[in-house]
Amino acid sequence: MSDGGDIAALVADLPESSHPEWIAPMLAVLTDARFSSPDWIFERKLDGVRLLVFRYGDRIRLMTRNCNEVSDTYPELVKALARQPARDFVADGEVVAFDGNLTSFSRLQGRMQITDRDKACASGIAVHLYLFDLLHLAGHDLTDLPLRRRKSLLRRALRFDDPLRFTPHRNADGEAFLERACARGWEGLIAKDATSRYSHGRSRDWLKFKCAKGQELVIGGFTEPNGDRVGFGALLLGYFEDGELRYAGKVGTGFDDAFLEGFRETLEARRRETSPFEDVVDEQAIWVRPDLVAEIGFTEWTDAGRLRHPRFLGLRQDKPAEDVIREVPDA
């Protein structure tokens, strides 16, 4: 932690700049590339909401990436920022809520709609603010500095006690770090060029490595195709729980035309009159005998027990349908 004099010394060599009313945030680009480089750092990708922190004297503003102030939604963060020794700074970060050991956007939604400070404090949903960049400090613009120096200044200028947290990073082994991140159930990683300046808008100096989730699911029905689609529209999916087939949602992407046409015949041979799902499924579907297993990739499970952004990866021949259950990653 630094006091006022120490903070001024940190940026004494930089040109002076007035406190900004707004700074457009830097955004990452999604990539399938996986790499390590001594010029890059790797941070945990958090499942929350991006926030820019503006403090000038006693005035503290929490701003979303679309320039909306949400200070009344997170009063405990404002209180923690008011205790900071630095009184003129702009920091970049992400507010999160936890479900166990994992950040949960679904849980955070319980706070996002609240605009009354008292109601926010009484919500029972604890939040934390992970800060990962420093853009302005003590009358000086830091955006032209390399990222590695900006993070060093962030660590030295602010005090990190809950609910404020410094976002740690790795300097090497990006591939191995991603593998561990995915095994832990994280969203993925953000890879950042440690030599880069802070630009405004989307930049390939920041890259998103997302964890691809997936598991086997049972096919219990299908929908008719629309428009120019052939074969079928989507497959209805489920998993077994206590001997009953639970509905997990439908998948309509990942097929080519040859599979759509050929697999329709396979589905027709398994038609049945009633739904195999224990749940009520609000779909105009054609039901089938639930003995086929598909491999499905997706981003996450919703609170309602449905797949988010599912994609068909292929059929599985090595697992009986009755053995398919919902898989939960280790914490």
How confident is residue 210, by pLDDT bands cut at 50, 70 and 90? Answer: confident
The predicted pLDDT at position 52 comes to 97
Q: Which of 145, 154, 137, 157 is closest to 193 using CA atoms?
A: 145
pLDDT, tens only, 225-261 = 998 899 999 999 999 999 999 999 999 999 988 899 9
Catalytically annotated residue among 45, 192, 210, 213: 45
H helices then E strands: how many in the chain? Answer: 7, 21
Better-predicted residue by pLDDT, 92 or 312: 92
How confident is residue 319, by pLDDT bands cut at 50, 70 and 90? Answer: confident
Mean pLDDT of 107-120: 90
> Residue 279: which residues within 8 A CB-CB, separation 6 or more?
246, 247
* Whether residue 155 has pLDDT greater than 70: yes
Mean pLDDT of 277-287: 91
Mean pLDDT of 199-208: 93
| Average pLDDT of the chain, as a whole number | 92
The predicted pLDDT at position 84 comes to 96
Alpha helices in 250-306 (DSSP H): 257-268
For residue 162, count CB atoms less than 10 angstroms from its CB and return exposed for 0-12, middle for 13-18, buried for 19 or more: exposed
Q: Are 182 and 95 in contact (CB under 8 A)?
A: no
The predicted pLDDT at position 297 comes to 84
Question: CA 233 to CA 253: how far, in whole Å?
Answer: 9
The predicted pLDDT at position 331 comes to 39
Amino acid at position 111, single letter: R
Better-predicted residue by pLDDT, 2 or 213: 213
* Whether residue 139 has pLDDT greater than 60: yes
How confident is residue 330, by pLDDT bands cut at 50, 70 and 90? Answer: very low
Mean pLDDT of 299-304: 88
Structural domains of the chain, with CATH: 26-210 (3.30.470.30), 213-323 (2.40.50.140)
How confident is residue 288, by pLDDT bands cut at 50, 70 and 90? Answer: very high
This prediction has a pTM of 0.70
45 is known as an active-site residue: yes
Q: Which of 149, 109, 157, 137 is closest to 303 using CA atoms?
A: 109
pLDDT, tens only, 26-49 = 999 888 788 999 999 999 999 888
Give kind and range of the element (H or E) at residue 147: helix 147-157
- Percentage above 90 pLDDT, the chain: 74
pLDDT, tens only, 63-81 = 998 898 999 999 999 999 9
